Amino acid sequence: MGHKILADHLLETNQITVGETKKQRTNLTITLSLVLFLFLGTTGFYCFSDNITLWLSRHATNSHSLSHENLGDAIESENGVVAADDGRCSEIGASFLRKGGHAVDAAVATTLCVGVVNPMASGIGGGSFLIVSQGSKAEAFDMRETAPLAASKDMYKNDANAKSIGALSMGVPGELAGLHEAWKRYGRLPWKPLFKPAIKLARDGFIVAPYLGRAISTHSSKILNDKGLRSIFSRNGQVLKPGDTCYNRELARSLGTVSELGPEAFYNGTVGEKLVDDVKTMGGVMTMDDLRSYRVRVTDAMAVDVMGYTIHGMPPPSSGTVGFTMVINILELYTASGHDLGLHRLIEAMKHMLAARMDLGDPEFVNVTNSINQMLSKPNAEEIRKRILDNTTFPPEYYLSRWSQLRDQGTSHFCIVDGNRNTVSMTTTVNYPFGAGVLSPSTGILLNNEMDDFSVPESITTPDHLPPAPTNFIEPNKRPLSSMTPLVITKEGELVAVLGGSGGTNIIAAVIQVFLNCFVLKMKPLEAVASARVYHKLVPNVVRYENFTAINGDHIGFSKDSKMFLEEKGHELEEMSSGGAIVQLIVQSFKEEEEMVIDFGRRLGKDNTIKKTKTFKGLLTAVSDPRKDGKPAAV
């Protein structure tokens, strides 16, 4: 109790999270919260790295013993949670946790479900990044699509469109191989039952959710142009609408075969052979050799310390972890600020990061060590801070961008924590909405267009006029640069959050803003996710801000004052009529006694080991972004 009072005094803003009731309202007309970020910044970020951090981030102390409570887009439980961007898939994941499954078992079932009910964004024809943490270990699974053996850097020379539409834009899918590899290492339940719910949805039909309905409508010409897509997403010449039932019986059959025979059925068996035949017919170059030689890359997750937390994320070809860290390192250097200025500084830091990230690429093909070290370096953050002026913004050249930016999109992210606090953070993608715009009729599998995430020499004619990044040119077996940013966040070895997003280049900015809302502003998890966000692409030199009504009717609003403030600094602003990225978040909060023990461990220093005898099991709050029609589920 004494600590609570102390915490209240230390909190000089109205963002008090301690002792409030647990009811979380989806009050989305929040002025962009970075205002406060600055305000708190006057005392320096470091004050949040001491033991008040956990006190402040805690909420719902008095109802801590409840098993779980549904709060709409958020849910609480001590036993395990799943936050996917579709409620059916969260529930399917949670059902395997209830059966005693590991977070990875739930991840397999959730991924397969999302691939069926949100087919515009993911599927077994795509690829993913997956972080698993168990105890003090965190591993990174890179199951990203890979350039086929017949690919070359000039393959789109005569037809630039073929890079993003049609079977030639397809990378070799990694999804099933990666899921299987993670399951082999961590799974506790048998493989086959994990497929059952997804097979049932594909075979017996599933209701088209509003978000999918909107995607179908937006991309209706793409759908009607392709025989495979047409057969699944339209009826009598009309595309499906929200509430209609959608079937993909061939996909159900493919999933059934893989559930019985394992991923070999896809990578060296009948499912793969049918897919390769279809791809060939449609003008693609992927062969059985490509499928047979696909390898999942498993490494230690990249671990970086920021603001007293340890971030566990993907190494390149993801630009997410290093990009995130670079921006936070810059912002952490500010000690005094005022209102919307923080937003300006965030935007400027992001512009520098976007420029720097184009020096990254697949580490198995290009040496990106120097680029990574540069982006993670504190002295470099100091240098960049000096180049950020509080009175103005600059044209793109100022940020030392040598290479043109990529546009990627069409993803899905979910977070899972199980009863033992094993954790999965996974982002899965087919790149564009409905990937390559072609679906293999004989397998029901949607083709990704991940090849578009590579840079090609002839893209010099893009509107930005900057040359393309050579580190990201196409080579056989190479993996393209990605913005996907699945993260697991710990403090003193205890899990505090799982976080990630979908939405292409916007992902890194969204994940940074949710992190700041959560850990600097101490917003409640739902508010942290729901607050309006800003985005920048460096080129064009425009700040885009969210100000729209989400699919569930909530208004996600940006303040006029913030807009005016930024315009005075010379930013050009543009309103977004829909969300830029979708974020799923799980936060673990602890009881006071636990926080003290965790903090005590920290004060003794890393080398002065008190043996960690137990994993603390705090209250888990899971949030699915209200921008999409997802819902979390609890055990």
Residues that constitute the known binding site: 144, 429-431, 453, 482-483, 504
From the CB of 475, what's the least distance to ligand NAG, in Å? 16
CB of 383 vs ligand NAG, minimal distance in Å:
17
Q: Which helix (H) or strand (E) holds 345?
A: helix 341-357
In this complex, which beta carbon is closest to ligand NAG, that of residue 245 or of residue 367? Answer: 367
Q: Give 37's strand partners.
A: none
User: 131: closest CA among 428, 494, 359, 518?
Assistant: 428
Q: How far is the CB of 32 from ligand NAG (least distance, A)?
A: 10
What stretches of 144-178 adopt beta strand conformation (E)?
Answer: none
Q: For the chain, percent helix, then strand, then coil, each to nearest 5?
A: 40, 20, 40
Q: What is the smallest separation between the CB atom of 613 and ligand NAG, expressed in angstroms? A: 40
Between 254 and 371, name the residue whose CB sits nearer to ligand NAG: 371
Instruction: Give the residue from 22, 168, 2, 5 showing the smallest Cα distance to 589.
Output: 22
Helices (H), 249-319: 249-261, 264-267, 270-281, 288-292
The Cα 312–Cα 552 span in angstroms is 32
577 binds ligand NAG (CB under 6 A): no
Output the six-digit token pair for 493.
């070895």
**563: contact with ligand NAG by CB under 6 A:** yes
CB of 313 to ligand NAG, least distance (A): 21
Is there binding between residue 268 and ligand NAG (CB under 6 A)?
yes
Q: Is residue 558 within the footprint of ligand NAG (CB under 6 A)?
A: yes
Write each residue from 349 to 378 as x if it is in contact with ligand NAG (CB under 6 A), else as -, in one continuous string: ------------------x-xx--------
- Is residue 560 close enough to count as binding ligand NAG by CB under 6 A? yes
Only segment of 294-302, 317-325, 400-408, 557-565 that touches ligand NAG (CB under 6 A)? 557-565
Dist. CA 3–CA 9, nearest whole Å: 10
Q: Which is nearer to ligand NAG, 62 or 549 (CB)?
A: 549
Stretch that binds ligand NAG, among 125-133, 384-392, 425-433, 493-501 (CB under 6 A): 384-392
Q: Of 173 and 437, which has the nearer Cβ to ligand NAG?
A: 173
- Measured distance CA(445)–CA(437) in Å, rounded: 11
* Closer CB to ligand NAG, 68 or 351, in the complex: 351
The pattern of x and - marking residues 430 through 469 that bind ligand NAG according to CB under 6 A reads: ----------------------------------------
Q: Which is nearer to ligand NAG, 281 or 392 (CB)?
A: 392
267 in Cβ contact with 292 (< 8 Å): yes
Nearer Cβ to ligand NAG, position 378 or 560? 560
Helix or strand (DSSP H, E) at 297: strand 297-300
Total residues interacting with ligand NAG, rule: CB under 6 A: 14
Query: Given the rule CB under 6 A, which of 134-142, 481-489, 555-563, 596-604 is the region that contacts ligand NAG?
Result: 555-563
- 391 in contact with ligand NAG (CB under 6 A): yes
List the one residue from 547, 588, 589, 621 that touches ligand NAG (CB under 6 A).
547
Closer CB to ligand NAG, residue 300 or residue 575?
Answer: 575
Q: Catalytic: which of 411, 443, 485, 490? A: 411
For this structure, is 411 an active site residue?
yes
Cα–Cα distances (Å) from 500 to 292, 361, 459, 579, 613, in that order, read: 30, 21, 30, 15, 30
CB of 264 to ligand NAG, least distance (A): 6
Report the residue number, 264 or 594, with the smaller CB distance to ligand NAG. Answer: 264
Distance CA 376, CA 246 (A): 46
Please provide the DSSP assignment of 198-237 as one string: HHHHHHH-EE--HHHHHHHHHTHHHHHTSHHHHHHHEETT
Cis peptide before 317 (omega within 30 of 0): yes
The answer to whether 320 and 294 are in contact (CB under 8 A) is: no
486 Cα distance to chain centroid: 5
- Which range in 85-93, 388-396, 432-440, 495-503 contacts ligand NAG by CB under 6 A? 388-396
Instruction: Pick the stretch among 125-133, 479-487, 554-562, 607-615 that binds ligand NAG (CB under 6 A).
Output: 554-562
Contact status: 578 vs ligand NAG (CB under 6 A): no
Residues numbered 212-251 forming contacts with ligand NAG, rule: CB under 6 A: none
DSSP-derived 3-state class of residue 42: coil
In the complex, least distance from residue 367 CB atom to ligand NAG, rounded to whole angstroms: 4
Q: Is 13 exposed, middle or buried (0-12, 13-18, 19+ CB in 10 A)?
A: exposed
**Contacting ligand NAG within 613-632 (CB under 6 A):** none
CB of 84 vs ligand NAG, minimal distance in Å: 29
Q: State the binding site for L-glutamate.
A: 144, 429-431, 453, 482-483, 504
To ligand NAG, the closest distance from the beta carbon of 456 in angstroms equals 25
Tell me the CB-side half-sphere exposure of residue 251, using CA atoms within 13 A: 33
Identify which of 503, 435, 453, 451 has the alpha carbon closest to the alpha carbon of residue 228.
435
**Euclidean distance between CA atoms 503 and 522, whole angstroms:** 25
With beta carbons less than 8 A apart as the criterion, state whether 76 and 66 touch: yes
> Of these, 13, 27, 392, 420, which contacts ligand NAG (CB under 6 A)?
392
Closer residue to ligand NAG, CB minimum distance, 63 or 369 = 369
Distance CA 103, CA 422 (A): 6
Residue from 292, 387, 402, 465 touching ligand NAG (CB under 6 A): that is 292
Q: How far is the CB of 387 from ligand NAG (least distance, A)?
A: 12
CA distance linking residue 227 with residue 447, whole number of Å: 13
Using CA atoms, how far residue 310 sits from 72, 370, 521, in Å, is 30, 22, 18
| Identity of residue 515 | F
What 3 state SS string does 62-130 have? HHCCCCEEEECCEEEECCCEEECCCHHHHHHHHHHHHCCCCHHHHHHHHHHHHHHHCCCCCCCCCEEEE
Which stretch, 467-475, 489-497, 530-538, 552-560, contacts ligand NAG (CB under 6 A)? 552-560
What residues act catalytically? Answer: 411
Residues that bind ligand NAG (CB under 6 A): 268, 292, 367, 369-370, 389, 391-392, 547, 557-558, 560, 563, 575
